[in-house]
Amino acid sequence: MNYKLINIKVHGDERGKLAVLESLKDIPFEIKRVYWIFDTLPEQERGFHSHKDMEQIVVAMDGACDFVLDDGERTETVTLNRPDKGLYIGKNMWRVMKNFSYGCKLMVLASDYYNEKEYIRNYGEFKKSLK
Ligand code: T46
């Protein structure tokens, strides 16, 4: 399975906490894009795609959601519910995001610019692409 959970470095003191991720040091790629997902609803699911080349790190800055990750052979579910945990997702991983808490906020760091041609949004095609 081409994913892993990363413990994000946290600097904490009496003022609160500060978490940090640096390109090519804490994460295995250079960050080219940052986007975030918010105003989510529990009954709405997202994702249903894989990426041919892109790698990403997802952090639940607030709230929680489940990532169902599928490499074409196995499926595993990861719950993101802490701002000090990052979910690294490599290429060729089908993902579904579900069970969002109200107002969950996901920040995503991506290894490349947005390119719709780089997505596979059909599960049959995803399976074929792995052969
Ligand atoms: C992923 C998961 C975790 C853009 O125009 N630019 C962007 O950088 C992104 C990410 C999306 N979009 C457009 C494409 C769609 O018209 O925003 C719309 C919603 O995107 P999408 O349906 O792909 O959203 P999710 O939540 O299903 O998937 C997103 C990312 O697209 C994807 O790379 O891994 O979050």
By percentage, how much of the chain surpasses pLDDT 90? 98
Q: Is 38 in the pocket of ligand 1 (CB under 6 A)?
A: no
* Pocket of ligand 1 contains residue 64 by CB under 6 Å: no
51 has catalytic annotation: no
Q: What is the pLDDT of residue 92?
A: 97
Rounded distance between C-alpha atoms, residue 7 and residue 10, angstroms: 9
For ligand 1, atom 29, which residue shows the shortest CA distance?
47
From the CB of residue 24, how many other CB atoms can be counted at a distance below 10 Å? 9
User: Who's near 22: CB < 8 A, 6+ residues apart?
Assistant: none
Q: Which two tokens stand for residue 7?
A: 């413990």
pLDDT digit string, tens, across residues 66-117: 999 999 999 999 999 999 999 999 999 999 999 999 989 999 999 999 999 9
Asked if 126 and 120 count as a contact pair (C-beta separation under 8 A), the reply is yes
Instruction: Single out the residue of 25, 21, 33 nearest to residue 118, CA to CA.
Output: 33
Q: Is the CB of 114 under 6 A from ligand 1?
A: yes
DSSP-based three-state secondary structure for 97: strand
Q: What are the pLDDT digits (tens) for 12-56?
A: 999 999 999 999 999 999 999 999 999 999 999 999 999 999 999
Mutate which of 29, 35, 93, 117 for ligand 1? The one with the most ligand atoms within 8 Å of its CB, which is 35
Question: 19 CA distance to ligand 1 centroid (A)?
Answer: 25
C-alpha of residue 9 to centroid of ligand 1, in Å: 27
Please name each of the domains of the chain with its CATH number.
3-129 (2.60.120.10)
Instruction: Name the pTM for this structure.
Output: 0.96
**Alpha carbons 26 and 109: distance in angstroms, whole number:** 12
Question: Over 90: is that where the pLDDT of 131 sits?
Answer: no
**Long-range CB contact pairs, 6-11, < 8 A, 24+:** 6/57, 6/85, 6/86, 6/87, 6/88, 7/84, 7/85, 8/59, 8/83, 8/84, 8/85, 8/86, 10/84
Is the torsion defined by CA of 20, 32, 28, 40 positive or negative? Answer: positive
